[in-house]
A and B are shown apart, each in its own frame.
Chain A
């Protein structure tokens, strides 16, 4: 019997104006999104390779002397992922340039052309179309599924037969989901065809798996709105009232709650200003200067005498002092960076009462884009920095002329020879390569969000079920 209801529900929807309108709107949005992505992606890729090659050629120039490698400021840029097609994650306005040498790392920055006078809009990615437009379409399909039939008088006719209510509810739910799934799948197909047919974009197996996961997530997300629609529809007697409530709920959940993220973030963290940040660094510097005066790093740690034979030259102490300085600066920078990230995350965590935020976050996590991409990349770069340092240390230990004191003072290398000046083979120098997370790892990160999406589904399903059981169909 359920199939019967599903079929009837689908046929009724297919013939309606709202279906045709949604189909047109969604397909055109997905098609536009596909074209825009292909166009921008190849441009971004070109840009990325240009900058990355510049960095690599710089690195190769430095390999003529080992110590130069240590002091070379590398600039690593964030590469746009192919899965930005599904969830771009506001990456265009997030920091994309990471500058570091083996001793210190700067705060990530935003580099590249952008117009600060034009507000940054979200790209027309899948998450955008699905979270905003399709969630709305889901409500448009679901709002009159119960109360509409009651108004038309067909609901009591249906229930006068031997069909139990839960079968009617399931039938309506699946019918609406299938109706919604058709424009969604056609849209995605159009989008994927456009993207796959371009030369620059190649999807590997892992990417296809992730795309499939995001599609599943999207159905899970849309199901929340269908169930919400059914719930409100079985709480109200008139379809017009139902639409009003649903619309306001939609505006609240989809537009207003996510907008509160910024304010929550601002209010929950009192971030130091640029001056305070500089002052903190200055204080740390003074503290280490003081420690040096107290002899913590050995005699003459903070002084520098170019003559190695001078009794005032103490390279190991100077190296300890310089490393302590760099470590302190790094600690403060890292702490500040962590605090910035924590501040950005807190707003999102609080706005998780809206399924849109959960869905966006889950989509970004699976696609490996957005804030998580930045966090991940930063972590990988720090790891690379440590690897490079280790490499330089091991190469340095092979040189008998070097003092083997890896410290961030170029003068010490030049005058005392604290680090080897021997050339190294560029092939053997570690180069940074960003590693994408496998699907399993991404899923592990997104598990909470998926759980929350399922929870929302269960809650709204239970609510719709109970309401419909108690619904007065007359």
Chain B
């Protein structure tokens, strides 16, 4: 009997105006949003590929270990098209250095700060706004409407049990909503195919599948909210008005309010405190470095050349210079590394406050199914905070392995190859070429000597081979589907619970419903 009711209800829904308009709007909006968003992603991907290639090229040019300061770029997430999350709010790159451990930061300068007046745009906006309204529209008159038309008492005068009616209506509503949802997903995925640069991996397909499932649970929750009101009131317009008011509260009031409450309950420390703490660490470090400087002060002569990653290195220098730089590296670099950890400690303390506030706001916003859905989508798309933290953890680990690599290759910074490839005698060779310049009697003679020196210098630069970085540690970052899923599961469970709860409440209300029409 349930199937019969579901079938009848489903067919009736298909013929309605709201279904036609809702479906068309969903599909059209997805078709408009997707190309814009995917081409935006493609543009970001191009920039990322360019940056990574430039970084690799620089890495191949490195001549001394000191200059190894590559940058790790965050690959744009293809699924940010579905849910933007934090994708565009966080920094895109992290520099690997001895004296600094990268941490999560807001998107850096260079981007136009004035654009922050605009709200976020992604495909889940269509689902969470348009489809949730559609779910309410489908549900608002299922019981109250039938009562008004007088068909409800006819149905119930037969042998059909009330739970069967309600279950049939629920199934029919879900089946009705599946159509625009599926169409929107299919259109979305098809549009991906028009962009040759965009490649969806196997795990991305699974994620999209899970997003589809999450959207379905979300729609069922929203449908059940509408169903509850339809079972609570006698007039369908009242049911619609109630449902829509709840919707406005869920879409507008709760997300805004939860952010505010979190700010109040878990206030951030003033920025000046972070700045002063960082300054204090920097001062302590500089003091220690100054002490070392005092110890190793010596006069030396040499010439530097521009190297990879826009950093200079010592091309040639005299014996004293070699000694000086060796001592300086051995003594100073461990201090810099030590203080990098201290900087990180301060930054992490500050960040943990931000995260606490974020999680608190998240907890508050869980009272709204729409915010829950948003969280699930960003967890599945991999644009949530946890993923960003994972990325930064990996970057931190990579930085540590780079430091360990440089240490092992340079015997704790004591090898000359840490700062120069110059050998004893190189400097003297250059000086020999330059010597006649001192005795030069005219400008032409001087210029000739200088030219010869520059030629020798250029030759020396060209002759200096790049380091063999075959065994340079690779940056490993493999976001796993299981982790995303495990983050989404509690929220999915909560959403399912909300859906079931509203259905149960509808059931209770319907059992007591007076089916007689006026």
When distances are taken between beta carbons in the complex, the residues of chain A under 8 Å from B248 are 25, 132-133, 136
Known: A133-B252, A343-B115. A118 touches B121 (CB 8 A): no
A271 at the interface (CB under 8 A from B): yes
Cα–Cα distance between A111 and B256 once the two chains are bound (Å): 22
Total A-B pairs in contact (CB under 8 Å)?
A: 172
Partner among B114, B137, B256, B270 whose Cβ is within 8 Å of the Cβ of A371: B114
Q: Decide: A259 and B118 in contact? CB cutoff 8 A.
A: yes
When distances are taken between beta carbons in the complex, the residues of chain A under 8 Å from B260 are 36, 121, 124
Cα–Cα distance between A374 and B40 once the two chains are bound (Å): 28
Interface 1/0s, chain B 165-180, versus A by CB < 8 A? 0000000000000000
B25 at the interface (CB under 8 A from A): yes
A117 at the interface (CB under 8 A from B): yes
When distances are taken between beta carbons in the complex, the residues of chain A under 8 Å from B256 are 121-122, 124
When distances are taken between beta carbons in the complex, the residues of chain B under 8 Å from A197 are none
Cα–Cα distance between A136 and B120 once the two chains are bound (Å): 21
Partner among A118, A241, A259, A263 whose Cβ is within 8 Å of the Cβ of B357: A118
Task: Report the nearest A residue to B256, measured CB to CB.
Answer: A121
When distances are taken between beta carbons in the complex, the residues of chain B under 8 Å from A117 are 86, 89, 104, 354-355, 357-358, 385, 388
Task: Report the nearest A residue to B37, measured CB to CB.
Answer: A263
B262 at the interface (CB under 8 A from A): yes
Cα–Cα distance between A290 and B249 once the two chains are bound (Å): 64
Q: Which of A77-85, A88-96, A424-432 contacts B (4 or more CB under 8 A)?
A: A88-96
Q: Which of B238-246, B295-303, B442-450 contacts A (4 or more CB under 8 A)?
A: B238-246
When distances are taken between beta carbons in the complex, the residues of chain A under 8 Å from B15 are none
Partner among B25, B141, B245, B259 whose Cβ is within 8 Å of the Cβ of A25: B245
Q: Decide: B133 and A251 in contact? CB cutoff 8 A.
A: yes
B269 at the interface (CB under 8 A from A): yes
Known: A115-B357, A118-B361. A340 touches B114 (CB 8 A): yes
Task: Report the nearest B residue to A132, measured CB to CB.
Answer: B252
Partner among A94, A109, A266 whose Cβ is within 8 Å of the Cβ of B117: A94
Task: Report the nearest A residue to B141, measured CB to CB.
Answer: A240
A248 at the interface (CB under 8 A from B): yes
Q: Which of B16-24, B190-198, B418-426 contacts A (4 or more CB under 8 A)?
A: B16-24
Nearest Cβ on chain A to B353's Cβ, whole angstroms: 9
Within 8 A of B (CB), among A245-260: 245, 247-248, 251-252, 255-256, 258-260
Interface 1/0s, chain B 220-244, versus A by CB < 8 A? 0000000000000000111011101
A29 at the interface (CB under 8 A from B): yes
Q: Decide: A118 and B259 in contact? CB cutoff 8 A.
A: yes
When distances are taken between beta carbons in the complex, the residues of chain B under 8 Å from A114 are 268
Cα–Cα distance between A124 and B261 once the two chains are bound (Å): 13
Q: Which of B105-113, B207-215, B489-497, B508-516 contacts A (4 or more CB under 8 A)?
A: B105-113
Task: Report the nearest B residue to A348, measured CB to CB.
Answer: B117
When distances are taken between beta carbons in the complex, the residues of chain A under 8 Å from B115 are 262, 265-266, 343-344, 347
Within 8 A of B (CB), among A335-384: 340-341, 343-344, 347-348, 370-371, 374
Q: Decide: A255 and B121 in contact? CB cutoff 8 A.
A: no
Within 8 A of A (CB), among B1-43: 17-18, 21-22, 25, 29, 36-37, 40
Task: Report the nearest A residue to B241, measured CB to CB.
Answer: A18
When distances are taken between beta carbons in the complex, the residues of chain A under 8 Å from B255 are 121
A120 at the interface (CB under 8 A from B): yes
Q: Decide: A256 and B21 in contact? CB cutoff 8 A.
A: no
Task: Report the nearest A residue to B36, measured CB to CB.
Answer: A263
When distances are taken between beta carbons in the complex, the residues of chain B under 8 Å from A21 are 241-242, 245
Interface 1/0s, chain A 112-129, versus B by CB < 8 A? 111111111110100000
Q: Which of B249, B256, B355, B358 has the most CB of A within 10 A?
A: B256
Nearest Cβ on chain A to B56's Cβ, whole angstroms: 17
Q: Decide: B21 and A344 in contact? CB cutoff 8 A.
A: no
When distances are taken between beta carbons in the complex, the residues of chain B under 8 Å from A310 are none
When distances are taken between beta carbons in the complex, the residues of chain B under 8 Å from A263 are 36-37, 40, 121
When distances are taken between beta carbons in the complex, the residues of chain A under 8 Å from B130 are 248, 251
When distances are taken between beta carbons in the complex, the residues of chain B under 8 Å from A202 are none
Cα–Cα distance between A152 and B48 once the two chains are bound (Å): 62
Task: Report the nearest B residue to A93, measured CB to CB.
Answer: B116
B125 at the interface (CB under 8 A from A): yes
What size tier do the contact residues of chain B reach?
35 or more
When distances are taken between beta carbons in the complex, the residues of chain B under 8 Å from A251 are 129-130, 133
Q: Decide: A29 and B253 in contact? CB cutoff 8 A.
A: yes
Nearest Cβ on chain B to A382's Cβ, whole angstroms: 17
Q: Decide: B89 and A119 in contact? CB cutoff 8 A.
A: yes
Q: Decide: A248 and B240 in contact? CB cutoff 8 A.
A: no
Q: Decide: B112 and A344 in contact? CB cutoff 8 A.
A: yes
Task: Report the nearest A residue to B25, measured CB to CB.
Answer: A248
Q: Decide: A261 and B245 in contact? CB cutoff 8 A.
A: no
A70 at the interface (CB under 8 A from B): no
Nearest Cβ on chain B to A96's Cβ, whole angstroms: 10
B90 at the interface (CB under 8 A from A): yes
Within 8 A of A (CB), among B271-303: 271
Interface 1/0s, chain A 157-189, versus B by CB < 8 A? 000000000000000000000000000000000
A224 at the interface (CB under 8 A from B): no
When distances are taken between beta carbons in the complex, the residues of chain B under 8 Å from A252 are 25
B119 at the interface (CB under 8 A from A): yes
When distances are taken between beta carbons in the complex, the residues of chain B under 8 Å from A124 are 256, 260
Cα–Cα distance between A160 and B129 once the two chains are bound (Å): 42
When distances are taken between beta carbons in the complex, the residues of chain A under 8 Å from B357 are 115, 117-118
Nearest Cβ on chain B to A280's Cβ, whole angstroms: 13
Cα–Cα distance between A226 and B117 once the two chains are bound (Å): 27
Q: Decide: B114 and A243 in contact? CB cutoff 8 A.
A: no
Cα–Cα distance between A382 and B355 once the two chains are bound (Å): 38
A433 at the interface (CB under 8 A from B): no
A239 at the interface (CB under 8 A from B): yes
Q: Which of B112, B117, B238, B355 has the most CB of A within 10 A?
A: B117
Nearest Cβ on chain B to A345's Cβ, whole angstroms: 8
Q: Decide: A371 and B241 in contact? CB cutoff 8 A.
A: no
Q: Decide: B114 and A341 in contact? CB cutoff 8 A.
A: yes
Q: Which of A17, A144, A267, A370 has the most CB of B within 10 A?
A: A17
Partner among A121, A144, A248, A347 whose Cβ is within 8 Å of the Cβ of B21: A248
Task: Report the nearest A residue to B17, measured CB to CB.
Answer: A241
Partner among B112, B118, B238 whose Cβ is within 8 Å of the Cβ of A17: B238
Which 10 A-B pairs give the minimum distances between C-beta atoms?
A274-B110, A116-B106, A344-B114, A262-B118, A93-B116, A244-B18, A261-B118, A117-B358, A121-B256, A259-B121
Give B contacts to A, CB under 8 Å: 17-18, 21-22, 25, 29, 36-37, 40, 86, 89-90, 104-110, 112-121, 125, 129-130, 133, 137, 141, 236-238, 240-242, 244-245, 248-249, 252-253, 255-257, 259-260, 262-264, 268-271, 354-355, 357-358, 361, 385, 388
Q: A25-B245, A93-B117, A117-B354 are in contact. List 12 more A-B contacts (CB 8 A).
A: A17-B241, A21-B242, A95-B113, A114-B268, A115-B268, A116-B89, A136-B248, A244-B137, A248-B25, A258-B119, A260-B121, A341-B114
